Structure 1
Amino acid sequence: MEAEKDKALWKIAKKRVAFRRHFFTYLIVNGFLWTLWYYNGTGTSMYEGLPWPAWVSFGWGIGVAFNYYDAFHGNHDYAAEREYEKLANKKKR
C-alpha cells in the first residue's frame, strides 16, 4: 500500500511541475507578443480598441486556469479511492 501512495504523490508532483512550466511558458510567450504589439504600433483586432494579443492571452489563459485547477485542486483520484472503499465495505456486509 505504501508504494501506491508514493506513486500517487509522484503523480501529483509531476502535475504541479508541469503546471509551473506551462505557466512560465505562458508568461514568456505572452510577454513577447504584447511587446511585439507595443513596438510595432497599436494595431487593433477586429474589435476597435482591443489589442490582438488579448485574444491569445485570454484563450491560453483559460487553458492555464484549467491546468492550475487540475494540478493543485483536482481530486487526484481520491474520488475513485473513496468509491472503491465504499464498494469494498458494501461487499463485506
Structure 2
Amino acid sequence: MEPQRNEQLWKVAQNRAAFKIHLRTYLLVNTGFWILYFFMSKQPWGERMYPWPLWPMLGWGIGLASHYFSAYRSVDKESMAEREYQKLMNEGRRN
C-alpha cells in the first residue's frame, strides 16, 4: 500500500521540476544561439556582428528568474491571505 501524498509538497515538487526543465531548455537554446552567432560572425562578408544573443538571454532570463522565485522562494498563499485578512480585520476594529 502506497502512503498518502502530501498535496502541498507535491505541488512544490512539481513547480521545482518544471523550473529545472525550464532552466535546461534556456541553457540549451541560448547555447545554440551563441554557437549560431559564433559561426555567423566568422563569415567573410563583413565585420564582427552585434552580439544579438544577449537580447533573448536577457528577456528569457527575466522570465526564468520569475519562475525560480515562484518555485523556490514562494510564500504559502494561504498563510499570506490569512495575514492580509487579519490585517483588514484589525483595521476594521480601529475604525
> TM (normalized to structure 2)?
0.71
State the number of aligned residues.
Answer: 78
How far did residue 63 of structure 1 move? 0.3
> Which runs of 5 or more residues in structure 1 are unaligned?
45-50
Q: Which amino acid aligns with 1:80?
A: A
Q: Which amino acid aligns with 2:56?
A: V
> Which runs of 5 or more residues in structure 2 are unaligned?
42-47, 91-95
Q: Take 1:6 and 1:82, find their aligned partners in 2: how far apart are those partners?
A: 23
How far did residue 82 of structure 1 move? 5.1
Instruction: Give runs of aligned pairs for residues 29-44 of structure 1, distance below 5 A.
Output: 29-41=29-41, 42-44=48-50
Structure index of larger Rg: 2
Q: Take 2:84 and 2:17, find their aligned partners in 1: how far apart are those partners?
A: 28
**Matched-pair contact (CA < 8 Å) for 1:12–1:76:** no
1:12 maps to what in 2? 12
Q: Take 1:20 and 1:12, find their aligned partners in 2: how far apart are those partners?
A: 12
Matched, 1:68 2:68: yes
Q: Take 1:24 and 1:54, find their aligned partners in 2: how far apart are those partners?
A: 17
1:33-73 deviation per Cα after TM superposition (whole angstroms, max 9, x unaligned): 011001111421xxxxxx10000000000000000000000
